[in-house]
A and B are shown apart, each in its own frame.
Chain A
């Protein structure tokens, strides 16, 4: 379970909320409301006063790299640091094969130069990379924005499967139908103190 207490992100009022195991919280708000900044703060990629707990442990109780293995931020525009994606992944494993299959990504893509991959191929590979070591909480920033409907449906299945295995997800998505399908609760970000931090449970 992820618990956020009095987290201060950008100009937003302090935020407090929880995401239970097997559940998905959708973050909503206008462009520039601070959705991405909130995800980055939870992953401890930007300094933010306040507390964030996973299963009772606060982020500062462990080294930041341990924290980010449990609380994994997946950026809207995935980046690569090697010529081909292969070197950005751990050693080949049955799990890697399964994940690639589940998103319908051909194995050969791992050895193509990143520069020739399509935006959608890069996004799917980035999802595989984010899921590969089974983080406790996934922070997904527009995870299917570059995917055609069929591929997006496969990605959603993967996200649901992740939740079914007892983990949590925080989702930022402009696709309303996708939020309906995945989210158990929503958090609307707003600069005015009374309008925000409403956690409404989906019907």
Chain B
């Protein structure tokens, strides 16, 4: 395993490519210059920091550090889901729902992938656990965001029809079944598209990284397949749990649709 290390000068040269973004923004008066600069600086700072943090954690031998870092990732993902919602849905409860969903799905799918399938020694080896958890969480986060947002948007749009069904004696999950199915389909479609086109249209980031680091491409492809299966399962599981939770948050035990929870956020 060998690779060409990057020097700071290499990265400075690469960052000059952002001049293209700046030029387009300037030419079309998009006023994105500030956003481009902030986003680029955040990216550099976050990645530099994560590099140092991971180096530290990899050097430790106790599972406590891995678990602590994993929890930080889960909470950060939960906060991200909450801030991306367009509707209110009971405020803090959305954060609770998404963090709990991501904790459950991240733990279950990473345990299966690392613990049962890869089987590193020791089982908590942070070099395996944290990157895989990161990929699982990243995809589960997108799925939970989509599923909750779709349910809230569709419930707000179809409110009259949902309440007509409730008035006729439907239970909350019956009255919202169309909304639930739409949200599940919306959340699961991206991973299906991604599975169908991966390797043809795009080389996945993890596989590219492994190949650059000198891993045999066939070996890298096998790891990518494992990751895709884990991501697909994580997407399905988190969509399902997130959808059930969202329906419960938008309704109450008397099978009422709570209009105030559908209010748009400002």
Spell out A's residues near B (CB within 8 Å): 43-47, 60, 63-66, 68-69, 72-75, 77-81, 129-130, 133
Central interface residue in B162, B165, B169, B255, by most chain A CB within 10 Å = B169
Is B158 a contact partner of A72 (Cβ separation < 8 A)? no
Q: Which of B158, B168, B178, B252 contacts A68 (CB 8 A)?
A: B168
From 217 to 236 in chain B, residues with beta carbon under 8 angstroms from any chain A beta carbon are none
Question: B116 on the interface (CB 8 Å rule)?
Answer: no
Q: What residue of chain A has the Cβ atom nearest to residue B259's Cβ?
A: A46
Chain B residues with Cβ below 8 Å from A65 are 166, 169-171, 255
Report the minimal beta-carbon distance from A126 to chain B, rounded to whole angstroms: 8
Point out which of A60, A72, A79 has the most chain B C-beta atoms below 10 A from its C-beta.
A79
Interface presence of B34 (CB below 8 A): no
> Can you report 13 A-B residue pairs in the complex whose CB atoms are below 8 A from each other?
A44-B256, A45-B256, A47-B252, A64-B254, A64-B256, A68-B168, A72-B167, A73-B167, A74-B167, A75-B160, A75-B167, A79-B160, A79-B164
A81 and B164 within 8 A (CB): yes
Contact B164 A75, beta carbon cutoff 8 Å: yes
Contact across chains for B256 and A47 when beta carbons are under 8 A apart = yes
Q: Is the CB of A64 within 8 A of B158?
A: no
Residue-by-residue, is B140-161 near A (CB-CB < 8 Å gives 1, otherwise 0)? 0000000000000000001011
Contacting pair B255 A72 (CB below 8 A) = no
**Which residue of chain B has its CB nearest to the CB of A60?**
B254
Contact (Cβ within 8 A) B161 A80:
yes
Interface residues in B248-266 by Cβ distance below 8 A to A read 252, 254-257
Contacts of B162 in A (CB 8 A): 81
Q: Is B80 an interface residue (CB 8 A)?
A: no
Closest Cβ of chain B to A80, distance in Å, is 6
A81 and B161 in contact (CB under 8 A), knowing A47-B256, A64-B255, A65-B171?
Answer: yes
